[in-house]
């Protein structure tokens, strides 16, 4: 039986891409739907301290919260990060800071409740040796285009560790690599690389376009994790971890952006030209994770094959793009 059964759970970002999958898996693990509270931004702007204080008071009518998953973030691809560095730092730092401090003030530490923080691969230094090991997190500055976001998320980890040391707070801290899958954000202005490429290719096929334009040189590499695998790893951490030891979640498969584009083009059936706009940045040169710690501490590894996951993502977008 899952240790999550009968828990009262807050999931910030629970209406988002990863959050929806996590909430479904919580129910499958024995949490009642009525015991999952998803704060909506129009009612709880978590960048404000008062909203976080009110969240813990109102979520279950005053009953104590057992578990908080903090997934909410303001984030986007390279273009969105370049356009919003100040906002992305403030929003992500403020949400984590207020949620963690109000968790303490609400007395949840004394009740043995736990806080699960989902961080980001953007916290790693720009030139981290590949594969990325968690021990390398402080050995350099993040890639410039997403550094404000990455630093804010890394600071949340340090806050959790400080609260463990001073107050005995239970927590977990995960570092998922780039996620993808059905239900992702396909907005071309704010989406990450896979949904953006899928949308470009599908629209090019539908319109009969003779080419697509891709950012950068295609030489940078990335690693991707199917959203269902990510949710499984996060749940496993909630069950097994009591301190914020950083844990990578990834598939351990590295692929260049050029090869990724060619694979998505093939799976979408696009037969036109691929043009590269080298005036646009590549972002971090390489990304590939060492996931041995996740295997050792969580007994977790990714299960969905990359091409299978891409096919499911493409099929979902074709069915829902209207």
Catalytic site positions: 149
Q: What are phi and psi of 118, to 5 degrees?
A: -95, 115
The interaxial angle of helices 193-207 and 257-268, nearest 10 deg, is 40
Contact 56, 46 (CB under 8 A): no
User: How many Cβ atoms are within 10 Å of 305's Cβ, its own excluded?
Assistant: 12
Give dist(CA 137, CA 124) in Å, integer.
5
Distance between start and end Cα atoms, the chain: 41
DSSP state of 144: G
* Contact between 170 and 161 (Cβ < 8 Å): no
- Between the alpha carbon of residue 276 and those of residues 77, 80, 211, 307, the distances in Å are 17, 19, 10, 23
Q: Measuring CA to CA, which residue among 315, 295, 124, 142 is closest to residue 223?
A: 124
Using N-to-C axis directions, what is the helix angle for 227-240 and 17-28, rounded to 10°?
A: 60
């Amino acid at each position: 039986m899952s240790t999550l059964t009968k828990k009262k759970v807050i999931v910030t970002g629970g209406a988002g891409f990863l959050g929806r999958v996590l909430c479904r898996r919580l129910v499958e693990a024995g949490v009642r739907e009525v015991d999952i509270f998803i704060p909506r931004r129009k009612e709880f702007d978590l960048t404000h301290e008062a909203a976080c204080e009110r969240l813990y008071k109102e979520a279950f009518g005053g009953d104590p919260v057992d578990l908080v998953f903090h997934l909410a973030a303001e984030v986007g691809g390279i273009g969105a990060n370049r356009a919003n560095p100040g906002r992305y730092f403030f929003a992500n730092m403020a949400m984590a800071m207020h949620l963690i401090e109000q968790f303490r003030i609400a007395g949840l530490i004394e009740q043995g409740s736990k806080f699960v923080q989902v961080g980001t691969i953007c916290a790693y230094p720009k030139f981290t040796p590949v594969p990325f090991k968690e021990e390398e997190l402080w050995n350099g500055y993040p890639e410039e285009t997403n550094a404000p976001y990455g630093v804010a998320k890394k600071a949340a980890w340090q806050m959790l560790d400080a609260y463990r040391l001073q107050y005995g707070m239970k927590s977990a801290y995960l570092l998922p690599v780039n996620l993808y899958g059905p239900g992702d954000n396909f907005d071309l202005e704010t989406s990450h690389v896979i949904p953006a490429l899928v949308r470009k290719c599908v629209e090019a096929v539908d319109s009969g376009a003779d080419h697509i334009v891709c950012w950068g040189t295609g030489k940078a590499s990335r690693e991707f994790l199917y959203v269902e695998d990510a949710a499984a790893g996060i749940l496993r951490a909630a069950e097994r971890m009591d301190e914020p030891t950083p844990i990578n979640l990834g598939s351990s498969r590295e692929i260049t952006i050029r090869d990724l584009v060619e694979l998505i083009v093939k799976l979408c059936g696009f037969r036109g030209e691929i043009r590269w706009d080298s005036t646009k940045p590549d972002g971090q040169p390489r990304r590939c994770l060492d996931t041995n710690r996740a295997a050792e501490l969580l007994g977790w590894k990714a299960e969905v094959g990359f091409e299978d996951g891409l096919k499911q993502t493409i099929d979902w977008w074709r069915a829902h793009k209207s």
